[in-house]
Chains A and B, each alone.
Chain A
Amino acid sequence: MNISGAEMIVESLKKEGVNIIFGYPGGAVIPIFDVLFAEPSIHVVLTRHEQGAVHAADGYARSTGRPGVVLVTSGPGATNTITGLATANFDSVPIVCLTGQVPKGMIGNDAFQEADTVGISRPVTKHNYLVTERKDIGRIMKEAFYLATTGRPGPVLIDFPKDIQIKKIDDKYPEKIQIRGYKPVSKGHSGQIKKAVKILKEAKRPLFYIGGGINIADAAGIFNNILEKTDIPVISSLMGIGAVPSDHPRYLGMLGMHGTFAANMAVSSSDLLFTIGARFDDRATGELKKFAQQAKIVHIDIDPAAIARNVTVDIPIVGDAKTVLEELYPLIKKPAIDSWIKQTVQWKNTHPLSTETEGNLLSPPLIVRKISEVFPDAIIATEVGQNQMWAALFYNFRKPRTLLTSGGLGTMGYGFPAAIGAQAGNRDKKVIDIAGDGSIQMNIQELATAVQEELPVIIAILNNGYLGMVRQWQELFFDRHYSSTCLMRRPSCPRDCNSPGDQCPPYVPDFIKLAKAYDAVGYRVTEEKDIEPVLKEAGKSKTRPVIIDFIVSREANVWPMVPAGAGNDEMMLGEGSLI
């Protein structure tokens, strides 16, 4: 049957089981939107900005495990997706991004809304395509979904010239796939696995170090079995959070710049770091020369390029985390490491995380703790900065795919659209964006999307009137020069102001009024006693997004902190205290 390119694209989406896409129309994709207009099985979420569309598809993908699909127009539509694609690429999130392009004959002529989309997106995607022949659409769509979701997942972009969307040929979606340059490894090398078992048996102070790969590979189940069987302490990277329940007795928390005392001490004292799906990011390792100096390193990762890039690895195992762990499980025995376990428990007990913070207003960690109590099974999205670290440290995560956060790229403005995508894919769950007052303004326009889609996302703004993480660095390392970080500042303020107080100008925007303007629900919380009741009230909303503006202490800091250049065991535990 003769069908148009646009019909073929939508047919491909249906064959791949796509029932929701996030997009924004424009001249170069009208034919595709026209086919979608008559397609009842695919719901189109119209965002207010293409970056929001990609983050929403990302949040959908991370929370459901299914690929997120984006559809935007050429030129600015495509360039607006770049931050979203880079975010997804860094954190290995499966996304298929469809962009319109000017007609083939006009490419290169500086046509209206033309951009070299494959050129611009090449470094921030796993792979990308410019479709030059109508007959290739089916094959490329099939390859794109396969590439996005297999191996180390990632975003794949396809650029469709407008004439190709219109052209009709006799066509159907291919059944088979053949990419000769792409053979992702799944099973680990059995000799390497045996070596890993042996080294684990000999270790006196073994430590599991888990990363995002465990969540992506759906390996949390088998890992928890291994944990029960071996009783070996475990630390996590930011992206590994959720794989092990935060209150598990052997779980020591997140390591790194804002890691827990126990996790950072353990990694510095361990003699075997048994790493699964983490990539030794600099925020996790601190100064590399001082990282895990006493430890031999086992590293399981699906991406060979992630292995031995930052640290020297003794036993590399390339493979899928779940497949490798399933193979390891019957071979591993419980080691005799009682004194090591005792030591790690002691670190946990002597230096627990504290919700007490500097200042007299609300404590951000306390708010996150209350969110955790009121909504124990929520999906938590975060923005980037202090809010992200407080969410990671103080929410009691218990399941994989419940923390959506931009770990690698560190994209402010990620959390809210990601929460929209997650809520669209998980209508039965509570989805909360833990935000800063700076970050939330980077994609606040998506409030309209949430209202229109009737998604009851809760946005918990930890409002300190500052770009808090940068301000924290300025306080600690730049002589309190609060340069361009105060969000209240007016021309009348003293030039060198670093003493926020009652005399400060009013904050803009008024988030309550903003919520009203969008027909969302808005609350402001200034008293500790109101935190819980307002959260409960917000939880009752079934169809409208809720903003809660928590007025928190302006100079609250995230502790512990490993300063730049220090080793993980050289933490600052609070104001002026360095151990």
Chain B
Amino acid sequence: MKHVLSLLVENHQGVLSRISGLFSGRGYNLESITAGVTTDPGITRITLVSSGNENVLEQIKKQLNKLIDVIKLIDLTEKPSVHREMALIKVHAAPKQRGEIFQVADVFRTRVMDVGMDSIMLEITGSCEKIDDFITIMQNYGITEIARSGLISMEKTKKIKGGR
């Protein structure tokens, strides 16, 4: 099963390699990893997607928590949270196909970032599944290049009944 782990880590050099090294060294799956600084310049948030059975995931969390540079770890898999990914996709588009591609792209709420002689670049944001679906459709036209950001996630605020 896929797990989304959100980590707050020290913003030191080498932190990413500690984490990716842990995954490669112990043979864990690492499907995506993203990192960016938080409002505290000393802290980086890392979102990573991993998969494996329950025991393996338990070990992954324990081993990550053992890293001195990991300040906090939250498993967002079971918690109400927002998961988003972005992708840039360059699609082969002969002039007469463009209209059709724009129509589909519009349904997926993508944005056109660049138009070339025989290709267009689209930006799509959303869940991984949505991006997967869009890629599948665009493959019919021919994808020449693709760049995915990896997942970023955040836990939702708890809603209190009767509160404001």
Contact = CB atoms under 8 A, between A and B. Distances in A.
B27 interface: no
Interface string A113-128: 0000011001100110
B26 to A, nearest CB: 9
Contacts of B14: 118-119, 122, 130
| Secondary structure dominating the interface of B | helix
B13 interface: yes
Interface in A151-209: 179-182
B68 A305 contact: no
A305 B59 contact: yes
Given A181-B68, A181-B71, A309 B59 contact: yes
Contact of B71 (A126, A132, A180, A304): A180
A132 B62 CA distance: 29
Interface of A: 118-119, 122-123, 126-127, 130, 132, 147, 179-182, 303-305, 308-309
A150 to B, nearest CB: 11
A304 B13 contact: no
Interface stretch (B17-25, B80-88, B101-109, B155-163): B17-25
Contacts of A181: 9-10, 67-71
B62 A122 contact: no
B65 interface: yes
Interface residues of B, number: 20
A179 B25 contact: no
Interface string B57-69: 0110011011111
Q: Which interface residue of A179, A181, A182, A303 has the most chain B CB atoms within 10 A?
A: A181
Contacts of B59: 305, 309
B55 interface: yes
B21 to A, nearest CB: 6
B17 A304 contact: no
Contacts of A303: 66
B99 to A, nearest CB: 51
B10 A122 contact: no
A563 B112 CA distance: 65
Contact of A147 (B58, B63, B68): B68
Contacts of A132: 13
Contacts of B18: 122
Contact of A119 (B10, B17, B68): B17
Q: Which interface residue of B17, B63, B66, B67 has the most chain A CB atoms within 10 A?
A: B66
8 contacts: A122-B21, A123-B21, A123-B25, A181-B68, A181-B70, A305-B66, A308-B55, A308-B58
A127 B17 contact: no
